[in-house]
């Protein structure tokens, strides 16, 4: 139906826009351009919200039945099934690409955070080894920097 085509065309347009945003986000992450990252994150959030709303509306449209138990949204004789199928496949492909880009950007952020945490640990403790916290003789948590290497025997 024209309603279903309209939903898919809008999802496809939003999906393509999201891919562009995610590609821009990847560039901004590599350049550590905080202003661009913030701007793109806002736009990404808007687009993902629109995609979710359209998906929900499309689900409702597809679940509606006429009095005769049919769904007029998908049973219009003027529709060419192959055109609708191609539109659906292209939309799915674009959304899958957006998902993959978003996963890659998330991984880049995670790696960057791990690098910052590691660098901070080296600068603050002088070692790359994660700190292990143990109790000192006074019962306070000792981060290991001033921990005695002496072993007491009883």
Residue 14 near residue 94, CB atoms below 8 Å: no
- Kindly give the parts of the chain with pLDDT less than 70: 1, 65-80, 130-137, 139, 141-154
pLDDT for res 121: 83
* Of 42, 50, 30, the residue nearest 112 (C-alpha): 30
Gyration radius of the chain's alpha carbons: 27
């Amino acid at each position: 139906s024209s309603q279903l085509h309209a939903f898919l065309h809008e999802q496809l347009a939003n999906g393509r826009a999201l891919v562009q945003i995610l590609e821009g986000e990847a560039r901004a992450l590599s350049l550590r351009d905080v202003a661009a990252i913030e701007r793109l994150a806002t736009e990404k959030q808007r687009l993902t919200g629109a995609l979710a709303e359209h998906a929900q509306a499309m689900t409702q449209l597809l679940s509606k039945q006429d009095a005769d138990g049919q769904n007029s949204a998908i049973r219009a004789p003027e529709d060419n099934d192959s055109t609708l199928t191609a539109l659906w496949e292209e939309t799915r492909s674009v959304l899958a690409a957006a998902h993959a880009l978003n996963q890659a950007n998330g991984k880049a952020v995670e790696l960057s955070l791990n690098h910052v945490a590691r660098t901070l640990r080296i600068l603050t403790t002088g070692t790359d080894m994660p700190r292990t916290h143990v109790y000192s003789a006074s019962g306070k948590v000792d981060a290991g920097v001033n921990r005695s290497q002496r072993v007491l025997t009883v």
